[in-house]
Structure 1
Amino acid sequence: MATHLKDKKPLHLAKMNIKKGDKVRILTGKDRGKDGTVSRALPQTNKVIVEGLNVVKKHIRPQGQTRQGGVIEKAMPLHVSNVMLICTECGEQTRVSIERRPLGADQKERPVRICKKCHKAIADNTRS
């Protein structure tokens, strides 16, 4: 993944509606129509890595005593426009809107992701 420094956004400007742990459906490419979980989100480059999908074979050279050489399978990043979030409530692929709702013990207003189809909050898998 050769990414030039000019292609990366500053971290304070990098915003995506898809986060680590979200269930997504792939819209384009060889794995079109398959569902998977986001294992890593890369907001600076607008990419996500989905577990077990978009897998390529990579040839690795052995490095002395530490690493053995061979062919490994590696999940490669997908552009965020090529995946769509699956709603935790209705189970369909959907677009996302952001609303400010009172959350937590202090009932402070915080941004919440909302499903455009069923208008319910999308559960955040990363917070526990």
Structure 2
Amino acid sequence: MSKWIIFRADKGEPGSLERYFYHTGSLTKILAEHFNYSNRGIPEIGYRSPLFIQVEEAIDSQFPKGKTHWKKGDWEVVRVDVYTPEIPTPQGGDYDEIVVCTCRYNPIDAPLKPMPERQVSLDSFGGDRVAFTLWQESQDPSA
């Protein structure tokens, strides 16, 4: 099931003058967005989006711009609204659900944790088995 998950700041939350779209300069309440093509559930009230950080001492030379650590973020989901297409289209829409998570700023002192080892799966390619197989073959040093 394809989901577009949008995290947005609730009315009156801090940072409203610092969040803007780079391409237009217009202000936005959007904190983050995720595209999810798995069968995992949607965020629930109380969920906190992770904050990804790069710690210089832990940088992998193969991924010099990659994030090395993460922690639970300071924005907490307080409401979840789910929108689904009312009329299915024959060719299928881009998303089965659009999920809007309204968040409040609620800072916590969350521990910083190292990122897990990267794992690439069929889900990483949105279920495209051909693309996944081509990627797997490109990773085989004996090929």
Instruction: Name the TM-score, length of structure 1 as normaliser.
Output: 0.26
Q: Which has the higher contact order (CA 8 A, sep 6+)?
A: 2
Higher strand share: 1
Higher helix share: 2
